[in-house]
Structures are given as structure tokens and as C-alpha cells.
Amino acid sequence: MALKGFPLPRGMRDIGVEEMAQRLQINKKIMEILERYGFRLVEPSPIENLETLEAKCGPSIKDEIYWFEDKAGRKLGLRFDLTVGLARMVASRPDLTLPVKLAAISNMWRYDEPQFGRYRCFYQWDAEIFGSVEADADAEIISLTVDVLKNVGLKSFEVRISSRKLVEGFLNSLNIVGEKVEAVLRIIDKYRKISKEDFIGELDKLGLNSQQTEKILGFVSVSGEYEKVLSTILNYQIKNEKFLLGLGELEKLMESLKAFKKIEECFFDASIVRGIGYYDGVVFEVYDRVAKEVGAIVAGGRYDKLCKIFGRDLPATGVAGGIERLMLTLEKNGVLEKPKPLMGVFVASANRRVHVKTLELVERLRSWGIPADFDLRNRSLTRQLEYADRLGFPYVLIVGERELAEGKVKVRDMEKKFEEEVLIGKLKDFFVSRLKKG
């Protein structure tokens, strides 16, 4: 009889054993760097009041997220990123010593069209610094990002940096002000993703004249090593306060990145503005040169006004990177590590008469910190060995009556297909030394 199918909802997926092992290895390498930089792990609530999620993005966010009414009629929503939850957490905790460095590695949900490298439920790593207005904090976040990517195995990537203040100041100089600024920024955010014709067409829809459009096209195309493109930026001779503030912040940032020895990975790119409205200072995106089609694998920036919405005026800067996109990038670079083999012991029974002793030996191995498993289906010894081999156990401990009478067991090396007898009293030393080598 055919099994009844229960398909997953659109945009959702299961994570199998091999992929989960790879994810855990990646998470471990990310955590190594987070700890090295002094970040502490937290977990924001996956469910927020809808008004919390709307606080910055407005009511239209409902079209992009999972939201619902609970049995008491309360309007709730699943988090669409980690930054909002972290900002709300910190804003509600006046007892925290500032600045505070917090991080999270978890999943979130967005009700948008599934796309390459992203599903409706996806995972991110996230790191935020709350309580510092200094450019050093932005440099710290970018330096952390570079070290994370290197630690997971990437070597050919570039951090593209800009400033929302700089770009907004430029737009103001073209008499683009008010709500139209945010609308233009959303179009600029698409600069790398759509054709030049479509880009111009979207600006035309906002009512911009040809001169404004031409100047925007020229400005967003400015990119390269910061010191080499600085003269191009200065040639615009823009004197408004916002533009000059952005320029000054970038100058301080680059000095700090030089001190951190991260300047080689960093480039200026005026088209980087980040499409999310809460960014208001330095912004950046990271692209891999080998896997360009994956898009930005990490992005972040400064958002000094977000915490104020949640009741506390607190500067902040941070970064987030998608785990799925990171795995795709590692795979395309040929450096996505295969899951490590199961470094443990399978304990097999020669027959049911030694069953209790088998369980005792399983417990003894586990008490020594050695992963151990055994047969749960009362199979023959041959079937147990086949099962252990399929699971990838490097060693099988065979419990037989004759060996037990002599205080011994057989140990089979599954790779070398070699067996030897070992005294039960020597098992700990035998396995600890071999499994550490493995």
C-alpha cells in the first residue's frame, strides 16, 4: 500500500542528517569568532506583538511576514529578522552594562517568494553592538565579519561599504527630500539586481527629471578602494551637513579598519544603501567573488534610531548573514566540509545471553565520554555489523560468551577490517587514544 503523502507548506524544507552536521560545524566556527570578540549569545523571542514588528517598518510589513491572531484575539507575528528582537530586548534592559555585544544564531520567517538560497524559514547568524556611536564599533563589526568568513573557509570575498548619510546628503543636494528619499534609496538598493533600463524606469516613476536620474546613476557607480575614489566623491563639492557627516564617518571607519588589518578586504561602493529603513549610518554588504550569483552573503550597518522606537535612545550597529547562502557559497568555492565521521563505538551482542552485559558496556563507554550505541532490533551479529558499517562507526565492540569468561571483548576496526581482543579493564585507554587520533 502506498504511503499517504503529507507535503510541506510552500517555501519550507526539512534539514537532513548530513546537512545538519554541516550547519553545526559552521555554527561552531562562527561561535569561535564571536567569543573571540567578546559577543554573548542570546535568543530573541520568535513571536512578537505585531505592533513591535510594525514599529519601524509600518503596517505594510504584514504583507511580508507571517502574522496571525491568537485565541485571545491578540495580533502576533513571527520575527522576520533578529535585529528588531535584539533592539527590543536591549531597550527593555536598563541594567545592561554598555556598550553590550550580543549575538544570535537562529531561524526566522518571511512570507515572500522563495528564492535562490533562501526559503520562507531560514537561518542567520547575527551580531550587534549597542551603546557606542564611535566608528570603532562599526569597524569592530566589519572586522568580526571578515574573520567569521575566513574562519568558515572563504578566501575570495569583498566587503562593500558606504554610508546612508552620504547617499542621503547627495540626494538632498539634488532637491530630493522627505519621503521621496526613502523611495529612491529602495531603488538604489536594487542597482546590482536590475538592468540599467529598469533602474531608470523606476526613478522615472517617482517623477525624477533626467538630470537627477543621470546624476544618481553617476554617483551610485562610484566604487573601488576608498582612498582611490575619495577624490571622485570630493569632486561633487557637496557641502550639506548630512553628506559631510557621512564622509567624516567613513574616514574614521577606514582608519580603524587599517588598524585592524582588514582594509584589503574593504571597498567603497556608493550603491550600497541597505533596503531596510532602520539603517542610518555606515552600511555594508559582502559578496564572494567566486559565487557572485548567490548575492550578498552578509550585510549590516548602523541603526542609531531603532532602539528609541522601543523606548530607549541607544546607538547601535550590527551584522547578519544567512546560513543557507553561506553554505551555497562554501559549496561553490569547494570548501564546504563534509560532515565529520561518527567517532564512537557500536556495541554488538553475539547472542541474547550476553544482552545485559552489552548494555552495561554501553553505559560504561558513555560514562567515559565515548559515544556508544547498540542494536535495538534483536538482529543477528552479521546484521548488527552491517548496520554499524552503514552508520559509519569506526569501531564495533563484539560481546561474546567465551571472551566475557576471560574478561575480554573483541574490537573490530571497521576501516581496516581487523579484529583484536581487549581486556575489559583496558577498554577506556584503548578507545580514548584511538578516537582522539580519529
Identify the CATH number of the domain in which residue 415 sits: 3.40.50.800
CATH number of residue 138's parent domain: 3.30.930.10
Same domain, 324 and 351: no
Classify residue 5: in a domain, yes or no. Answer: no
Task: Identify whether residues 140 and 273 lie together within a single domain.
Answer: yes
Domain check: are 242 and 360 in the same one? no
Q: If you count them, how many residues does the chain have? A: 438
Q: Give me the pLDDT at residue 438, please.
A: 47
Residue 318, domain member (yes or no) = yes
Over the stretch 382-422, which tens digit does the pLDDT of each residue have? 999 999 999 999 999 999 999 999 999 999 999 999 999 99
Residue 23 placed within a domain? yes
User: Do the domain assignments include residue 180?
Assistant: yes
> What pTM, to 2 d.p., does this model score?
0.92
User: 311 and 376: one domain?
Assistant: no
- Are the C-beta atoms of residues 220 and 270 closer than 8 Å to each other? yes
One domain, residues 309 and 378? no
How high is the mean pLDDT in each 10-residue block of the chain (438 residues)?
78 94 97 98 97 86 95 96 95 96 97 82 97 98 98 97 97 94 94 93 95 96 95 93 96 98 97 86 97 94 94 96 96 92 92 96 96 96 96 96 96 94 95 74
Within this chain, do residues 120 and 155 fall inside the same structural domain, yes or no? yes
CB 172 within 8 A of CB 216: no
Q: Is residue 8 part of a domain?
A: no
Query: Would you say residue 315 lies in a domain?
Result: yes
Tell me: do 326 and 396 sit in the same domain: no
Note whether 75 and 119 are same-domain residues.
Answer: yes
Q: Of the candidates 305, 36, 45, which has an alpha carbon nearest to the alpha carbon of residue 150?
A: 36
- 320 and 350 together in one domain: no
How far is Cα 222 from Cα 178, in angstroms, rounded to an integer?
A: 24
Same domain, 214 and 312: yes
Task: Establish how many alpha carbons lie within 13 A of residue 358's alpha carbon, considering only the half-sphere containing its beta carbon.
Answer: 25
- State how far the Cα of 223 lies from the Cα of 229, in Å rounded to an integer: 7
Which residue range(s) make up the domain with 121?
17-332
